Structure 1
Amino acid sequence: MQFSELMAALSKHPIRLQQDDDNLVIQGDDEGLDDALWESLALHKRELLELVERNGGDWLSPAFRITPDMLPLVSLTQEQIDRIIDSVPGGAGNVQDIYPLAPLQEGILYHHLAAEQGDPYVLHALFGVDRRARLDDFLQALQGVIDRHDILRTSVAWEGLDEPVQVVWHKAVLTLEELQLDPAQGAVEAQLQQRFDTRHHRLDMGRAPLLRLVCAEDRPNQRWVALLLFHHMALDHAALELVQHEMQAFLLGQGHALPEAVPYRNYVAQVRLGVSRQEHEAFFREMLGDVDEPTLPFGLQEVQGSGQVVEEAFMTLPASLSQAMRSQARQLGVSVASLVHLAWAQVLGRVSGRQDVVFGTVLLGRMQGGEGADRALGMFINTLPLRVDVEGQPVRAGVKATHARLTALLGHEHASLALAQRCSGVAAPTPLFSALLNYRHSGTATSTEAVSAWNGIQVLGGEERTNYPLMLSVDDMGEDFGLTVQAVEGVGAARVGAYMETALASLMEALRQTPGALLSGLSVVPHTELEQLLATFNATQAEYPLAQTIHGLFEAQVQRTPESLAVL
């Protein structure tokens, strides 16, 4: 059988040809192939592999159809599959895989759908570029990373389905949109950020990639400004650093040397086949079953994150405090993260009036994400509740108890937040908690290669948000620690950061001097604010006409200034 005859015969069978190193992989209805076709496939293997390579590693016959048995991670009818495929440009030939969402992705999709406008999980990064050609280099490098990783070629489908799914495209192209902005209307970067403000701007979750890149010329500053929007559905903080690392390789012409990409589907499969739902429920019912009141710092109850103005404050902890934290953690045999979680619980307890505190903690997910998870892109993190008693136990025992509970929680890091919250005694729609802690490891060194790769490209700013009204991110930088507080307007992000530093300092001092003292006796209020509360605000002594009554003084004031405001 000639090669042309083989291709004509294959076109009548619903099969897909793919390349796996030197092997030719056949998917679909291969049982319909007779002996003659099998012999011809073996005879023309080399030509077929060349054909597959020319088509980007995949070839579909015109009769190919994705069927339920080809999607082992999700339960879909043929009708549902066909409807999903119809929404993808290129149809079945451009669909690589379909599988469910990871736990945190489900929560992010919920907030996307619930938001009246905008989307709290559309994040952005702002760049200044010295010339237009470097923007094209930037786009080409980012497209190279997109081509490597399935999660960056993923869209989301949910309408008419029992559960939402993510759809991996074979090819998803990111374009660079060029806008014409008038510098007379204000700074170009400010105009870009205002036009694509995520409090009113959204990304189409049904189109891959879940990114958008726009730019405009900034003539007064002789540069170009670019805004990259990306959805948290596809990338977490650690993944962003991996994207930057891989883009750097492409910018240096070393993209071919990157290790093989790890599919995100591996993580999803592990989550689906890991700890059972019943085990998750048993754990969270034991931890949260008797919690019948939420922990709402400053009374903040709105957790939809829709349209709220968020203030951000950053501070680096004093070196002496950072050293004390690491030293105490080693002596007690606990993680530094456990000390941070206990201190944050103390702050939340004071500003919410709670002795039994519950807050969300961000779990990395990569630790149990399977082989290669440390270099995979995707949403690995998960947010789950942690309960901490900050009232009735000694300092040292409190640290040990927090460490034990945090360690136990890691065994359930793939559970869904919705499941965990249902296990508490707090009735929906009241949130179980409204504050979040994200403890993360962050690198600080910049290599010579990085300087060369990013020459002409400067980061001007960015934003990472959540739907929670109060969030603390703790960056473990190897030696020092950085605190970033995000709080809705009116709370005072810097003020909360000062509370956290004071709580950590009080905890370290107590562990060193009085480990048997009660946690409830430790201060979280900085000396300056304490002085203001106890002294400045109480300095009310004044000369007063003791012979006159209050209402008499009021009447006299009315006669002097009858049009003035009396009481506000």
Structure 2
Amino acid sequence: MLPLVSLSQREIDKVCDTVPGGLANISDIYPLTAMQKGLVFQHQLSAKEDPYLFELPLSFNSQASLDRFLTALNQLVARHDVLRTVFVLEDLFEQVQVVLKQNEIELKNLNSQVSLAPDLAQGPLIQLFVSDDPVDNKIRGKLICHHVIIDYVGQNILLSELLQLLRQIELPDQVIPFRDVVWLEEHTDKQRAETYFRERLGSVSHGTVPYDVVVSNVEKNQLHHESYQICQEITERIRSWCRENSVIPAAYFHTVFGLMLARLTHQHQVVFGTVLSGRGVVGSSTVDTIGPMINTLPLMLDLENVAPAQLVKNVADELGHLSDFSRFSLKDAQALSGVEKGTPLFTALFNYRQGASQTVFANAMSQHGVELLSGAQDEFNNFPITVIVDDDPDATFTLSAITHSDVPVSSVITYVKTLAEALIGNLSPHDANQSRVDNGEE
């Protein structure tokens, strides 16, 4: 009946009593993934506001365009089980997520005092708030999605499918259920993963803590953002070198981030979190599946006496190995390091995101009376330093730094852009005869 989770009769009754519609409205029950457990933990810690909400401001030119948008949105809720999922977190031996048969989105008033944060136990965890704008006679809206059911790639899939439905294009019949991703994590070779992380992190005795800033619980109002767009010439040079050396651009920018941390901490051996995608590990069809398939894992880089080109290739190899364990728990990986218990292994996060920017969807949706406004919020975590690289294949690389108020965001973005533009100048066919990469030690 429930192959992925073991529940007593008391616990089953608790689940049925908690979710909307009870037993008759339950389609499936399974455990949380490692990433979902982390998000739920941070959600429960946050007393003031839920830190893991994706907020997309919208504008509709008429009631008809709003109605069409809402209809399409509910079609996707019916199509993707994860958009009908709620969470039972209390009075169970193991927290579970419950797929409901029905959990339609209803419009909510943006001007009311109702919290934007959805109830994880009731759902839906994707909501649409609207209000009239008397200034331009349009309807203002805000699409809210909780990261416990959707990641950055999933957001773009959602927008893409919404656009297809607005264009009256029929979507493919087959949708891979999120339970397949859960099943894969439950059957991860944990012993092999433990061996890998013990070998990579066991000798690390000091955490990588730039600016000596350690924060246990970050609030949104403590964060500062700054972005920078790499010019077309540098972008083309980076892409060209990566193609010629059979290296993905993600490896290039991971190297840049590692070099920055080395300079800030004066360490030749650095560790930082990297956001990995679990898409495609179940099969090619999961690439277009909505759901939280990302995971954060520690990446250790040794920068001592390594020529620039070789360093980038080493990083590419490390990313390849790490991707084999993309479903492993961050908590378990960190526990295998040599860092003293209670002290952080790393406090900086790197996120390389590939795909079309939302500008593409904005231009297309405007033809259907829907405007995607600026000010979307889709990135939040508890790390004092986060650097994001957005790689739009049809545009240049965009760098973004998000830092805690105790960390100078301007310095971080300056470090990253300077190193990103300088590293490509150190890469050439004669690299082996060049000086080694500066690891930041003085």
Q: TM-score, normalised by structure 1?
A: 0.72
| Pairwise CA distance, 1:396 | 2.8
- Aligned partners of 2:144 and 2:365: how far apart in 1? 23
Residues 136 and 347 of structure 1: is their aligned pair in 2 closer, same or farther, counting only changes over 3 Å?
same
Match of 1:221?
Answer: 136
Match of 1:469?
Answer: 384
Match of 1:565?
Answer: none
- Aligned partners of 2:439 and 2:344: how far apart in 1? 28
Match of 2:127?
Answer: 212
- Aligned partners of 1:156 and 1:427: how far apart in 2? 34
Contact 1:117 1:307 in 2 (8 A): no
Bigger RCO (CA 8 Å, 6+ sep): 2
Match of 1:127?
Answer: 58
SS in structure 2 of the partner of residue 472 of structure 1: strand
Q: Deviations over 1:451-494 (max 9, x none)?
A: 46532433232101222221111111225211122122353434
The reply to whether residue 143 of structure 1 matches residue 74 of structure 2 is yes
Q: Deviations over 1:479-521 (max 9, x none)?
A: 5211122122353434322211211222211222644422126
- Aligned partners of 1:494 and 1:391: how far apart in 2? 27
Match of 1:234?
Answer: 149
- Aligned partners of 2:144 and 2:307: how far apart in 1? 47
- Aligned partners of 2:35 and 2:228: how far apart in 1? 28
The reply to whether residue 501 of structure 1 matches residue 417 of structure 2 is yes
Aligned counterparts, 1:272-287, within 5 A: 272-273=186-187, 275-287=188-200
Contact 2:228 2:417 in 1 (8 A): no
Aligned counterparts, 1:62-141, within 5 A: 70-141=1-72
Contact 1:474 1:482 in 2 (8 A): yes
Residues 397 and 448 of structure 1: is their aligned pair in 2 closer, same or farther, counting only changes over 3 Å?
closer
- Aligned partners of 1:459 and 1:447: how far apart in 2? 11
The reply to whether residue 487 of structure 1 matches residue 418 of structure 2 is no
Report runs of 4+ in structure 1 exceeding 6 Å deviation. none
Match of 1:517?
Answer: 435
Contact 1:154 1:169 in 2 (8 A): yes
SS in structure 2 of the partner of residue 460 of structure 1: coil
Contact 2:268 2:440 in 1 (8 A): no
Q: Structure 1 stretch 88-97 or stretch 305-314: which is displaced more?
A: 305-314
Match of 1:436?
Answer: 349
Q: TM-score, normalised by structure 2?
A: 0.92
| Pairwise CA distance, 1:132 | 3.1
Contact 1:303 1:469 in 2 (8 A): no
Structure 1: unaligned runs, 5 residues or longer: 1-69, 182-191, 524-568
Q: Structure 1 stretch 348-357 or stretch 440-449: which is displaced more?
A: 440-449
- Aligned partners of 2:232 and 2:161: how far apart in 1? 33
SS in structure 1 of the partner of residue 272 of structure 2: strand
Contact 2:129 2:143 in 1 (8 A): yes
Contact 2:2 2:30 in 1 (8 A): yes
Residues 506 and 180 of structure 1: is their aligned pair in 2 closer, same or farther, counting only changes over 3 Å?
closer
SS in structure 2 of the partner of residue 412 of structure 1: coil
SS in structure 2 of the partner of residue 462 of structure 1: coil
SS in structure 2 of the partner of residue 304 of structure 1: coil
The reply to whether residue 407 of structure 1 matches residue 320 of structure 2 is yes
Residues 209 and 327 of structure 1: is their aligned pair in 2 closer, same or farther, counting only changes over 3 Å?
same
| Pairwise CA distance, 1:179 | 4.5
Contact 2:59 2:371 in 1 (8 A): yes
Match of 1:271?
Answer: 185
Q: Residue 368 of structure 2: which of 454, 457, 467 is its match?
A: 454
Match of 1:306?
Answer: 219
One-letter code of the match for 2:377? E
- Aligned partners of 1:270 and 1:263: how far apart in 2? 12
Contact 1:441 1:477 in 2 (8 A): yes
Residues 412 and 438 of structure 1: is their aligned pair in 2 closer, same or farther, counting only changes over 3 Å?
same
| Pairwise CA distance, 1:417 | 0.7
| Pairwise CA distance, 1:212 | 2.6
| Pairwise CA distance, 1:251 | 1.9
One-letter code of the match for 2:194? E
- Aligned partners of 1:452 and 1:123: how far apart in 2? 21
- Aligned partners of 1:379 and 1:457: how far apart in 2? 26
Structure 2: unaligned runs, 5 residues or longer: none
Contact 2:118 2:125 in 1 (8 A): yes
Match of 2:235?
Answer: 322
SS in structure 1 of the partner of residue 135 of structure 2: helix
Q: Highest CA radius of gyration, 1 or 2?
A: 1
Q: Deviations over 1:45-97 (max 9, x none)?
A: xxxxxxxxxxxxxxxxxxxxxxxxx0101121122112111112222110000
Q: Residue 306 of structure 2: which of 365, 389, 393 is its match?
A: 393
Superposed CA RMSD: 2.4
Contact 1:439 1:476 in 2 (8 A): yes
Q: Structure 1 stretch 444-453 or stretch 132-141: which is displaced more?
A: 444-453
Match of 1:542?
Answer: none
Residues 405 and 90 of structure 1: is their aligned pair in 2 closer, same or farther, counting only changes over 3 Å?
same
Contact 2:26 2:100 in 1 (8 A): yes
| Pairwise CA distance, 1:303 | 4.5
Aligned counterparts, 1:31-70, within 5 A: 70=1
Contact 2:365 2:371 in 1 (8 A): no
Aligned counterparts, 1:551-566, within 5 A: none
Contact 2:264 2:440 in 1 (8 A): no
SS in structure 2 of the partner of residue 399 of structure 1: helix
| Pairwise CA distance, 1:280 | 1.4
- Aligned partners of 1:158 and 1:89: how far apart in 2? 15
SS in structure 1 of the partner of residue 218 of structure 2: coil
Contact 2:34 2:328 in 1 (8 A): yes
Aligned residues: 436
The reply to whether residue 372 of structure 1 matches residue 285 of structure 2 is yes
